[in-house]
């Protein structure tokens, strides 16, 4: 499973990435997903640091906070704010 496939799986299963190592709700995710998360930890970490919409915690509710940052990248300013508050 590559990183894009993993992100798609997370979206389809409505799983939320809490950190590059933790997913919520955890009982819903399979061993295969857990392995993919471990394997792509660094990639996920980068996406989370940028608050990329790829890892947006709530795509339906946050869509209005998405901002284009150039280079075909979109940032979720709401996730960005939430992340800066918890870290």
- Which two three-digit tokens encode residue 49? 């640091």
Q: Which is nearer to Zn ion, 36 or 76 (CB)?
A: 76
Nearest to 17 by CA among 65, 61, 66, 52: 52
**Residue 55 touching Zn ion (CB under 5 A):** no
Q: Provide, rounded to whole angstroms, the least separation between the CB of residue 66 and Zn ion.
A: 8
**Residue 76 touching Zn ion (CB under 5 A):** yes
d(CA 28, CA 11): 12
CA 19 and chain centroid, separation: 8
Q: Provide, rounded to whole angstroms, the least separation between the CB of residue 56 and Zn ion.
A: 3
| Site of interaction with Zn ion (CB under 5 A) | 56, 62, 76, 78-79
């Amino acid at each position: 499973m590559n990183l894009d496939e993993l992100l798609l799986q997370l979206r389809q299963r409505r799983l939320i990435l809490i950190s590059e190592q933790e997913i919520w709700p955890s009982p819903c995710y399979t061993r295969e997903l857990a392995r993919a998360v471990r394997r792509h930890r660094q990639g996920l970490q980068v996406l989370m640091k940028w608050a990329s919409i790829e890892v947006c915690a709530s795509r339906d509710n946050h869509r209005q906070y998405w901002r284009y940052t150039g280079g075909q990248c979109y940032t979720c300013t709401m996730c960005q704010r939430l992340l800066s508050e918890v870290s």
